[in-house]
Amino acid sequence: MRPDGRITDVPGIGKKSAADLGTIGIHTLRDMVLFPPRAYDDRREERNLSDTTPDNPSIACRITVISHSQFPSKRSGMTLKATCADDDGRRIELLCFNRPFMKDMLKLGSSWYITASAVERNRNGIYSTASFELKRTREEAGIGRILPVYPLTGSITEKMMRNASSYAIDALSPFEDELPYDIYRRYSLMHHDDAYRCIHYPSDDTDIKEARRTLAFTELMLMELSILRGREHGRKAPGKISRLEEKLISSLPFQLTADQIEAASEIRADLDSTHPMNRLLQGDVGSGKTLVAWLAALHEIAKGNQVAFMAPTELLARQHAEGAAELLSSAGIRIAFLTGSVKGQSRRLLLESLKEGTTDLVVGTHALFSEDVSFRHLKLVIIDEQHRFGVQQREALKNKGIDASILSMTATPIPRTLALTLFADLDVSTLHTMPSGRIPVKTYLVSDSNRDNMYQSIAVEFQRGHQAYFVYPRIDDEGESDIRDVTHMHEELKSKYPGVPSALIHSKLPEEEKIRILHDFRARKIMYLVATSVVEVGIDIPDATCMVIEHADIFGLAALHQLRGRVGRSSLPSYCFLVFGKNLSMEAKARLAVMKETNDGFRIAEKDLEIRGPGEMAGDRQSGFLRLRFASLTSDLDLIEDARKEAERIAEEDPGLLRIENAPLRIALSKQG
Ligand code: ADP
Ligand code: MG
């Protein structure tokens, strides 16, 4: 490829247009070549006026001007109407608003090649259009070709984009190969010089498909390689376990699982290396991530450093602070709790102790990183339920000048195929197995009209001293009478279970009230909670064995799985009842079937991916971490596998990419910067 140039090199692209193009990531000619069309305008066939259909009202044909008329338009100015005929004699009126000069151009009797994406037809069989392009020659009008259709921005027109892409291709070509020769052959890929031309200006559908496949494969392969190469540098010596950690482990009433031990040791190695850690701890709901987090915290505290533990809700932060106090304060760890609701004198004292370093571990919400908070030597930030915060949180920490290690925890598992890909810059530890003695939650699908059995089984659980959650999607009846709202259902349940203590909990309650209720639930003073999805994340009450989810059909799979994860957190058998109404959509049926079929969060996430596609699931992770241009995370799973396989082979055989056949890869990677 010849040297890159600025996008302003393209004739007709000035400062203003360049600024607009900048907003979609096009700064240079190379950016333009790498910018894929969103669709194609197939002008291979000439389309006369009689060829239009409601599905495809476009035309691309020759017309001759037969008459003119002008009339004042609604706004100021005159509208020119030029009546033309195509070669079959069918008529079309071209409407030129405020462009009287068009009259001189559209001389009577002159012929033009017109392209328009949509023409309208009136009762008299006359067509009209206001948006059209006229060219002197067939060639110029692109007739006989397939033209790219790009996403537009600001003042940029399709015409400017096409100009820019063909200019950029001419200026930079020939394009060199970016993959080893052998890979082109084995995967029947296009060579890159063809691929870049064909993705913009294909001559048929096969060109489009094959060019896209080649560019997607290349993109995935370069990404996988850069991940693998990043890993190479990161081989670390195992960290040494501290006395504090040993003490915590020996005080536990249970054994750590093998995965917990492994994850803790990976984290230790990271924390003892010279680079700040950036690790994701993923594990299904109930797999015991919190304990791994405390071990990580102790490892830093043993070195005299501070640790911050952040949870997405005040309720969860409180639960964790209490858990920490129970497990860690006997070892002399100084723990503090900080949320937005900590105010006045106690806040002032707390902030002082963080600044002076007399607090070792602070647990809280995002308020931990408000403006007025500063630390003496914060070395580790633990983010629980990371998916709740989004990726910006990490950026936000960086922007605040906090360059601590980060341990993110999530139970929203990323399907195996995507884990590496989505978290390109993260190391990942996974808790695959549950603590021993857990019995998988049994899930029942209950139709709305068939709920009596369910109520009875739960009554039996109450008699055994076990607890339950009833979850509803709404707080109060906002005129949507088919939604069983919490307030109303609480009354109904009270009459079903007379004498069984219960409480209503939802996000509109004052924070202290929620905390009190959860306390009483944990202390078994309350036997069931009637709740909105505030109980979704993190809440850990081992004696709760029943989870009823009303209107389960309107919850997403991730939420259902999280909610179900509130039970089955001990060695007691647990039950999840998914209550659904009438008229289920196909997707809702599919979701419920998945929930019934499996408890495995990974499988559920994979199914979720199938049902919904990953864009949504990955949320800002996708747009934040990756800018995939050509590859699709939904439809290219096979390509992802192949690209990973090849990248792994190459990274293994030739980690420095020094072999002659791998030179194209080395060059392509260095261009990515
Ligand atoms: P999650 O991974 O969903 O955050 P938690 O960390 O809340 O899960 O752990 C769920 C429950 O399992 C807690 O009550 C915790 O004390 C318990 N637990 C954690 N590790 C083990 C283990 N190795 N054996 C038995 N129970 C464990
Ligand atoms: Mg948790």
One-character DSSP codes across 365-424: SGGGGSTT---SSEEEEEETTGGGT-THHHHHHHHTT---EEEEEESSPPPHHHHHHHTT
Taking Cα atoms as reference points, which of 133, 132, 112 lies closest to residue 66? 112
Ligand lying closest to the C-alpha of residue 264: 1
Give the number of other CB atoms < 10 A from CB of residue 142: 19
pTM to 2 decimals?
0.64
Interval between CA 288 and ligand 1 midpoint (Å): 3
Helix (H, G, I), strand (E, B) or coil at 195: helix
Helices 314-328 and 289-302: crossing angle in degrees, nearest 10, is 60
Q: Whose CA is nearest to atom 24 of ligand 1?
A: 435
Helix (H) or strand (E) holding 97: strand 91-97
Q: Is 569 in the pocket of ligand 1 (CB under 6 A)?
A: yes
Q: Is 134 in the pocket of ligand 1 (CB under 6 A)?
A: no
Q: Is 386 in the pocket of ligand 1 (CB under 6 A)?
A: no
Ligand lying closest to the C-alpha of residue 292: 1
Could you tell which of 291, 407, 436 is best to mutate to test the pocket of ligand 1, judged by most ligand atoms within 8 Å of the CB?
Answer: 291
Taking Cα atoms as reference points, which of 425, 432, 430, 429 lies closest to residue 228? 425
pLDDT-derived band at 422, boundaries 50, 70, 90 = low
Q: Which atom of ligand 1 is nearest to the CA of 291?
A: 6
One-character DSSP codes across 122-163: -TTS-EEESS-EEESSTTTTTTTSEEEE----TT--HHHHHH
Q: Whose CA is nearest to atom 12 of ligand 1?
A: 288
Q: Is 411 in the pocket of ligand 1 (CB under 6 A)?
A: yes
End-to-end CA separation in angstroms for the chain: 16
Domains 243-431 and 442-598 share a fold: yes
CB 503 within 8 A of CB 490: no
Fold that domain 442-598 belongs to in CATH: Rossmann fold (3.40.50)
Q: Is 257 in the pocket of ligand 1 (CB under 6 A)?
A: yes
For ion ligand 2, residues whose CB falls within 5 Å = 538
Helix (H) or strand (E) holding 324: helix 314-328
Give the number of other CB atoms < 10 A from CB of residue 197: 22
Q: Is 601 in the pocket of ligand 1 (CB under 6 A)?
A: no
Interval between CA 300 and ligand 2 midpoint (Å): 20
| pLDDT tens-digit series, residues 343-357 | 899 999 999 999 999
Q: Is 664 in the pocket of ligand 1 (CB under 6 A)?
A: no
For domain 243-431, the question of CATH label 3.40.50.300 is answered with yes
pLDDT-derived band at 98, boundaries 50, 70, 90 = confident
| pLDDT tens-digit series, residues 365-409 | 988 988 889 999 999 999 998 777 765 566 667 777 777 899 989
CB 428 within 8 A of CB 419: yes
The residue written with tokens 């259009």 in the block is 129
Q: Whose CA is nearest to atom 4 of ligand 1?
A: 289
Token couple for 489: 């259902």
434 vs 288: CA distance, rounded Å: 8
Interval between CA 489 and ligand 2 midpoint (Å): 28
Poorest-confidence range of 40-54, 63-77, 220-234, 550-564? 220-234
DSSP state at residue 470 = E
**Distances, alpha carbon 238 to alpha carbons 65, 102, 265, 431, in Å:** 81, 77, 7, 19
Interval between CA 540 and ligand 1 midpoint (Å): 8
Q: Is 291 in the pocket of ligand 1 (CB under 6 A)?
A: yes
Would you list the domain boundaries of the chain? 45-143, 243-431, 442-598
Ligand lying closest to the C-alpha of residue 254: 1
pLDDT at 75: 66
| pLDDT tens-digit series, residues 311-339 | 988 888 998 999 999 999 888 999 999 98
298 vs 618: CA distance, rounded Å: 32
Ligand lying closest to the C-alpha of residue 568: 1
| pLDDT tens-digit series, residues 488-529 | 889 999 999 999 999 998 877 888 888 899 889 999 999 999
The predicted model gives 628-651 an average pLDDT of 82
Helix (H, G, I), strand (E, B) or coil at 47: strand
Q: Is 289 in the pocket of ligand 1 (CB under 6 A)?
A: yes
8 vs 17: CA distance, rounded Å: 8
Interval between CA 269 and ligand 2 midpoint (Å): 23
CB 496 within 8 A of CB 455: yes
DSSP state at residue 554 = G
Determine the residue type at 551.
Answer: H
Could you tell which of 257, 287, 541 is best to mutate to test the pocket of ligand 1, judged by most ligand atoms within 8 Å of the CB?
Answer: 287
Regarding predicted confidence, which is higher, 363 or 627?
363
One-character DSSP codes across 480-512: -TTS--HHHHHHHHHHHSTT--EEEE-TTS-HH
Q: What's the CATH superfamily of 45-143?
A: Nucleic acid-binding proteins (2.40.50.140)
Q: Is 545 in the pocket of ligand 1 (CB under 6 A)?
A: no
Could you tell which of 310, 327, 385, 569 is best to mutate to test the pocket of ligand 1, judged by most ligand atoms within 8 Å of the CB?
Answer: 569
Q: Whose CA is nearest to atom 15 of ligand 1?
A: 288
Interval between CA 290 and ligand 2 midpoint (Å): 6
pLDDT at 231: 60
Poorest-confidence range of 99-108, 240-249, 296-305, 576-585? 99-108
pLDDT-derived band at 623, boundaries 50, 70, 90 = very low
CB 470 within 8 A of CB 533: no
Whether the predicted pLDDT of 430 surpasses 90: no
| pLDDT tens-digit series, residues 24-76 | 889 999 999 999 998 898 889 899 999 998 888 889 999 999 999 988 877 66
Taking Cα atoms as reference points, which of 470, 473, 430 lies closest to residue 600? 430
Interval between CA 384 and ligand 2 midpoint (Å): 7
pLDDT at 605: 76
Whether the predicted pLDDT of 425 surpasses 70: no
pLDDT-derived band at 268, boundaries 50, 70, 90 = very high
What is the average pLDDT value for the chain, to the nearest integer? 86
Taking Cα atoms as reference points, which of 388, 387, 380, 343 lies closest to residue 363? 380
Whether the predicted pLDDT of 306 surpasses 80: yes
